[in-house]
Amino acid sequence: MACIDLMLLFSNKLSGLPIFIILFAIAFGRASAQGPAKTDFAKNQDQKYTLYQVVTDAVRSDSLLRRVVHFLKKEKATAIKQTDSSITCTGVFTVAKRALVSAQPEALVSFSFQLESKSGRYRFWLTDFITTPYKRNRYGQFEPEPGVRLPLEQEPGSLNRKSWEARVKSVEAASRQFAARLRTAVSEVISAPLPKKRLDVKKDEW
């Protein structure tokens, strides 16, 4: 009986709240329980597409930054700059589209990357996406089209809109894959190499 009274009291408390607040609270609670990374891909205050993530991690800040720099170098990032608590650079990846038989490169995408670290967590974001379409050269090989740099936010006319929307989704997917690789690089345990043992071969005893 006490349980029923408590439920009725809780129901009465909620009845005065707008439904969207209740739904937002439920959605936020579910999202918070899914894992340490809070993420979103949308336009920021400057109307630029941005992937933003906040990650909780116990890695010390100095170790975290070393791992991130190592990861960025493997990803062929350029203009890497580091402070005591942050890193910035310019990154690049390629997005592909599915052909009849296999995938073929669609565009080379450059972006700005920034990471900040403090008290057991870090956040990072990718933004300023610039796309350069691939085209076949006279040898039939795909290469970035020289002199073409299109901001991802630049919407085309209705004729090419579906292609642009597909490209935005491809950039989002590639950004999330980049972020997943980064989180793995930060959190993985790096084992120290084992000391080499000297092998003493005794010719008379075996």
* Closest by Cα among 30, 26, 38, 15 to 124: 38
* Closest by Cα among 140, 130, 142 to 96: 142
Residue 137 covered by a domain? yes
Q: What is the number of alpha carbons within 13 Å of residue 94 lying toward its C-beta?
A: 12
Torsion, CA 20, CA 165, CA 51, CA 174, rounded to 10: 130
Residue 150 covered by a domain? yes
Residue 202 covered by a domain? no
Looking at the 3D structure of the chain, how many domains does it have? 1
Look at residue 29 in the predicted model and tell me its pLDDT.
40
Amino acid at 14: L
- Yes or no: say if 131 and 167 are a contact pair by the CB < 8 Å rule: yes
Residue 121 covered by a domain? yes
User: How does residue 197 score in pLDDT terms, banded at 50, 70 and 90?
Assistant: low
Residue 177 covered by a domain? yes
* Closest by Cα among 112, 114, 121, 113 to 64: 121
Residue 177's domain spans which residues?
35-187
**Tens digits of residue pLDDT in 3-51:** 444 444 444 444 454 443 333 343 334 333 334 455 689 999 999 999 9
User: How does residue 152 score in pLDDT terms, banded at 50, 70 and 90?
Assistant: very high
C-alpha to C-alpha distances, 190 to 79, 100, 116, nearest whole angstrom: 26, 41, 22
Residue 162 covered by a domain? yes
Residue 199 covered by a domain? no
Residue 8 covered by a domain? no
By the 10 Å C-beta count (0-12 exposed, 13-18 middle, 19+ buried), 131 is classed as buried
Query: Tokens 């050269």 — which residue?
Result: 137
What CATH number should be reported for the domain holding residue 178? Answer: 3.30.530.80
**Residue 167 CB: number of other CB atoms within 10 A?**
22
User: How does residue 122 score in pLDDT terms, banded at 50, 70 and 90?
Assistant: very high
**Residue 113 CB: number of other CB atoms within 10 A?**
23
